[in-house]
Amino acid sequence: MAFHHALKIQEEVCIGCTHCIKACPTEALRVIGGKANLIAERCVDCGECMRVCPVNAIIIEEDDFSKIFNYEYRVALAPSVFIGQFPRNITSRKIYSGMLEDGFTHVYEVEHSTGILKELINNYLAKNPDIRPVISSFCPAIVRLIQVRFPSLVGNILPVKAPLDLAAIAFRKKLADEGIPPEQVGLFYITPCAAKIAAVKSPVGEKKSPINGVINLNTLYNRIYSVIRREEKAYCVVPEKEQLLPDEMVWTLTGGEAKHINGRCLSIDGMSNAIEFLEKLENGTVGNFDYLEMRACDESCAGGILSTNNRFLVSERLHNRAAQYFIDKNEGKIVDNKSILANRDYIIENASLGTIEPRSIMKLDEDMVQAMRKMKKIEKITNFLPGIDCGACGSPTCRALAEDVVQGRARTSDCVFVSIKVKGGESMNQVVDYTEEIWGKDRFRNMLPE
Amino acid sequence: MSGIGSGITGEMKEMTYAFPIEGGDFIKAGHASSNIKKILNQLSLDPAIIRRIAVAMYEAEVNVVAHAYRGSMKVFISPEKIRVRVEDEGPGIPDIEKAMQEGYSTASEKVREMGFGAGMGLSNIKKNTDKLDIRSTINKGTVVEMTTFTKPKEA
């Protein structure tokens, strides 16, 4: 099976350090030949590797901006965190007019669909009292993490599409209703993260995404920011701009989703927090929850790896804009023109996700007897590795190296300690003596011949 | 992974692991079950079966933490079945049948304050295992043996 990954390692930039292999929550990276290598079926596109890379060798591929001009109607599907990048004195109208100036014909915020989604989630909870807790399908990195690391929880994932897909369906329908031929419409998502790109290019639980392309949020931010600065005085008027409601503006921030869901809900953000909780959930040790909002990034989408500005500032700015809504409303500046409600039934009909399959990366072998044999070998190898998880072999831990050896991906002699022993340059006793000062007495006793 | 003592008997017929359990330490409760769950995941057991075993193991582990002084969790893995044996040194269970009832609990106030001791432990274990055997001696300890078959058994 082929997995599309948005994360790309630039070989010429990678210095082959071990930061990324240690940061990866699914042990998907190895250093081979002095460069980081990705094991495709393990990667969940969370971007943790990108955060820790000291030389920015990991990049996120995106569609070329000129691709939008392949379409007569060029729709930017923007997440609210895009608006949150801009200081408050730049109005959302100004930002949108900048986007139109830059080449889009329409701008539509993804979160317009969350009102309908809220209903769908609460209905699903009411109709399926046996499935608890239901885990949000919002964050594609979390969905993939569950598939590969917590396969027994796959059945808990909400089988309803994410706001992005619902908004795409809604806007496509709106334009079709206006008599625009579907093939002339190009929907482009402005993404704050790599996982959403993977979700568009190889969707889980649906055959094909309704989205035509993806533009990285920071790329667009830079473009728009310069457009706005250039046109400080005159900006074009945005026709019939729809207003996001305050709750919709903050949906993608931590807690923005859970607060609308009936019952006992939790909001969890950050990859390590999510893993810790899923671990407990799998053991059945966390009590009875109805719904889990779970996002891979700290501060949710405001903390996406393509979010240009600091996540706390982005979050604060969005909350401020949400508050501003009420002021504007009181002053009569806001027109209630939510077009999505006209197609409510159509969206609901098309909102279901297909089956989400588990695809465990932990299995040593499909066959249990073979897996047991491999396990035995792994334990044997682990027993004479140093156990300091230094990463010098290119695997993230000694245990991971042992697994790699048994799976034919590495050799035991990739371990520098073992290598010294095998090549016979220095006696192992000497090596152990040298390292005692750092690692303590008898630390590597297990590596000495009996 | 600490505390592993793996052994295999015969021609890959059975693997065994043992983990200690400390009585009264609620922070570490779940450590043994988590480790065994990891192993079962690697051995490509059906995720649904792993989840049942994980829940049963955790309940049994918490029982030791809540009621006993110390104990151990041993798991015997074969392609046909997973057998988990939880042994403890503790007060023992005076009336096993009663303890099996939902809601029955002898947990102390302190244990309940920590969110445990709802009296669902043993009945929950029963629900999640194919075979359950409990033996207990007052003032000595309890042995809980849970067996789960890896393939659905024909009735």
Partners of A279 on chain B (C-beta within 8 Å) are: 34
Task: Test A376 with B15 for CB contact under 8 angstroms.
Answer: yes
Provide the phi-psi class of B55: left if phi over 0, else alpha when psi is between -120 and 50, else beta: alpha
A426-449: pLDDT as tens digits: 677 777 777 777 778 877 777 776
How do residues A303-356 score in pLDDT, each as one tens digit?
999 999 999 999 999 999 999 888 888 888 777 778 899 999 999 999 999 899
- Find out whether A149 and A141 touch, Cβ atoms under 8 Å: no
Q: Which residue has the higher pLDDT, B152 or A60?
A: A60
pLDDT number for residue B9: 47
For chain A, which residues make up each domain, given as ranges? 1-60, 65-349, 363-450
Is B45 an 8 Å CB contact of chain A?
yes
How far apart (Å, rounded) are the C-alpha atoms in residues B95 and B99? 6
What spatial distance separates the first Cα and last Cα of chain B, rounded to whole Å? 38
Q: Is B41 on the interface with A (CB under 8 A)?
A: yes
Is it the case that residue A239 has pLDDT exceeding 70? no
User: What number is the average pLDDT over the span A69-96?
Assistant: 93
Task: Give the mean pLDDT of B124-148.
Answer: 93
Tell me: the pLDDT tens digits for A218-229?
Answer: 999 999 988 887
> Which is it for strands A213-216 and A185-191: parallel, antiparallel or unpaired?
parallel
pLDDT, greater one: A338 or A399: A399
List the single best residue of A150, A280, A368 to mutate versus B (max B Cβ within 10 A): A368
Nearest to A376 among B8, B34, B51 (CB): B8
- The CA distance from B88 to the nearest CA of chain A, in Å, is 21
Mark out the alpha helices in chain B (DSSP H runs): 31-42, 47-67, 96-99, 109-113, 121-127
Nearest CA-CA partner of A61 in A9, A21, A17, A3: A9
CB contacts, 8 Å: A287 with chain B:
115
Question: CA-to-CA distance for B2 and B143, rounded, in angstroms?
Answer: 23
Q: Name the more confident of A295 and A206.
A: A295
Which residues on B lie below 8 Å from A369 (Cβ)? 12, 79
Partners of A282 on chain B (C-beta within 8 Å) are: 37, 51, 54
A52: pLDDT strictly greater than 60: yes
CB < 8 Å from A in window 50-69 of B: 50-51, 54-55, 57-59
Q: Which residue of A has its CA nearest to B151?
A: A368
CB-based contact A301:A79 (threshold 8 Å):
yes
Q: Name the CATH topology of A1-60.
A: Alpha-Beta Plaits (3.30.70)
Query: What residues in A contact B75, CB-CB < 8 Å?
Result: none
Residues of chain A with a CB closer than 8 angstroms to some CB in chain B: 151-154, 279-280, 282-285, 287, 358, 360, 362-369, 371-373, 375-376, 379, 399
Beta-carbon separation of A372 and B77 below 8 A: yes
pLDDT at A388 > cutoff 60: yes
CB atoms within 10 A of CB A276: 12
Q: Which of B63, B77, B66 is nearest to B143 (CA)?
A: B63
pLDDT of residue A196: 93
All domains of chain B in start order, with CATH:
7-149 (3.30.565.10)
- The Cα of A145 is separated from the nearest Cα of chain B by a number of Å equal to 15
Q: Which two tokens stand for residue A44?
A: 């969940």
Q: Is pLDDT above 50 for A171?
A: yes
**Count of CB atoms situated within 10 Å of the CB of A288:** 8
pLDDT at res. A47 = 95
Q: Which residues of A are less than 8 Å from B48 in CB distance? A: 152
Q: What pLDDT does residue B153 have?
A: 56
3 state SS of A428: helix
Q: Which of A366, A373, A376 sits opposite B44 (nearest CB)?
A: A366
pLDDT beyond 90 at B98: no
